[in-house]
């Protein structure tokens, strides 16, 4: 994706109501603050890994949510991540060379390849999650008890979403999740 494509992406008309836009703006402000609160530690881990941004997105997707991982077809990864198949294939090549991912023939379709995460790749995903968690914990220590209760109540109200609840459950048991 080039700069023109990114600009078009950023300029897409919103489909959100004014109330939804306000919620999104508050979440974006919090996320930007949290992203920078750790003094760039998470970005430093990515930088030191030598991964491109595409490889990083791919590795995080392979790492799954809530500790669950499974093998993906290259085409499915391209679709889910919104990246061309050739770009995903190059990213997979890099991850395989770094022993962060595996690529095997799909048993159901010999023309397709499946991509999975290795133990080394899972370790890197867990390191990224741990660094992120540490940064967010440091931020949480700056909240007053009242602010923390209100934030907890707001986040708790989202625990009926299976995707969020599963990741929270995994993290609560001492596991890491990207």
Give the C-alpha separation, 119 to 101, whole Å: 9
User: For the whole model, what pTM was predicted?
Assistant: 0.79
Report whether CATH 1.10.10.10 matches the domain 23-172: yes
* pLDDT given at position 177: 44
SS3 content of the chain, % helix, strand, coil (to 5): 65, 10, 25
Residues 6+ apart with CB under 8 A from 90: 54
* pLDDT given at position 159: 92
pLDDT in tens, the chain (178 residues): 556 676 777 788 888 899 999 999 999 899 888 888 878 888 898 899 999 999 999 999 999 866 667 889 999 999 999 999 999 999 999 999 999 999 988 888 888 889 999 999 999 998 998 898 899 999 999 999 999 999 999 999 999 998 888 888 877 776 544 4
User: In this structure, is the dihedral angle defined by the CA atoms of residues 86, 88, 91 and 95, taken in order, positive or negative?
Assistant: negative
The helix/strand/coil state of 23 is helix
């Amino acid at each position: 994706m080039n700069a023109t494509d990114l600009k078009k992406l950023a300029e897409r008309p919103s489909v959100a109501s004014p109330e939804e836009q306000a919620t999104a703006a508050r979440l974006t402000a919090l996320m930007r603050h949290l992203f920078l609160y750790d003094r760039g530690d998470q970005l430093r881990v990515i930088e030191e890994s030598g991964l491109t941004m595409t490889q990083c997105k791919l590795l995080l997707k392979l790492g799954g949510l809530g500790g669950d991982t499974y093998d993906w077809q290259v085409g499915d990864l391209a679709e889910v991540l919104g990246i061309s198949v050739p770009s995903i294939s190059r990213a997979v090549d890099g991850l395989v060379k770094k022993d962060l991912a595996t690529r095997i023939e799909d048993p159901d379709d010999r023309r397709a390849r499946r991509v999975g995460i290795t133990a080394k790749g899972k370790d890197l995903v867990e390191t990224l999650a741990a660094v992120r968690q540490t940064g967010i914990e440091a931020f949480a220590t700056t909240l007053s008890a009242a602010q923390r209760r209100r934030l907890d109540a707001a986040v708790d109200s989202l625990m009926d979403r299976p995707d969020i609840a599963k990741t929270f459950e995994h993290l609560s048991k001492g596991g890491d999740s990207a």
